[in-house]
Amino acid sequence: MEWSDDAIVLSSRAHGETGAILELLTRDHGRHAGLVRGGASRRIKPTLQPGNSVHVGWRARLEEHLGSFTCELARARAGELMDSRDTLTGLNAFSAMTSAAMPEREAHATVFAGGEILLDEMMTGDTAHWLPLYVRWEAGLLEALGFGLDLSECAATGARTDLIYVSPRTGRAVSRDAAGIYASRLFRLPGFLMGNDNDQAHGDEIAAGLALTGHFLLERVLRPHGKDMPPARIRLDAIVPESSKS
């Protein structure tokens, strides 16, 4: 068995004296692990850092085996992403959430494509810009896994305007008028999830977006499989821009 694909490095850990176990998010083969022989070497190790994009080849005798990877660097991001606290926090959250939420070897090309865009935007260093993209990526992850939010119309009235809340039970949008006395029990729906420009997202909207997608990932994806929210994802809350929080 063998294949080749494009991938993003999620994690790498030592295996034996010279090898490494590499976990990747691939475009056409999902979240996939494999052994890199010589992965601990000075020559190969820099390629295997989280956040880098690689061209990868996988080979195994049987499909269910761990198999081995060969990797060629396609885009180096790790050094730049690890250079600041905020972007390192974002990279760790992306890697941890992908590992926790995505089933092994189940292809979701849109999640991979969104991850490439997100990591490239993280390299700008502007948290007010890439954090909304991160929330959108998580919303896309929910969609890919079959738990997408329904933000097209109000769950109660069918209205398509003034949608500012989301039901924590159904994941459907709720209008201002329909929320009534129950508004405090609903999640706030940030404008950037409705297609508004990311650059207009303020700190309170970003925080609302993280709370919204985080809730549904935890309740619909992680907890049913006995998992908790990754600590790396929780740490994203600490880097929401303070100057514009309400």
Give the contacts of 59 (CB within 8 A, at least 6 positions apart). 1, 2, 67, 68, 70
**pLDDT tens by residue, 25-74:** 999 999 999 999 999 999 999 999 999 999 999 999 998 899 999 999 99
**Token pair belonging to 58:** 């996988």
Annotate 187-208 with DSSP letters as a single string.
EE--GGGGT--GGG--HHHHHH
Nearest to 142 by CA among 225, 233, 222: 222
pLDDT of 24 higher than 50: yes
CATH number of 2-76: 2.40.50.140
Q: What is the pLDDT of residue 111?
A: 98
R_g over Cα of the chain: 19
The phi and psi torsions of 174 (rounded to 5 degrees) equal: -135, 135
pTM over 0.75: yes
Domain ranges in the chain are 2-76, 80-151+189-239
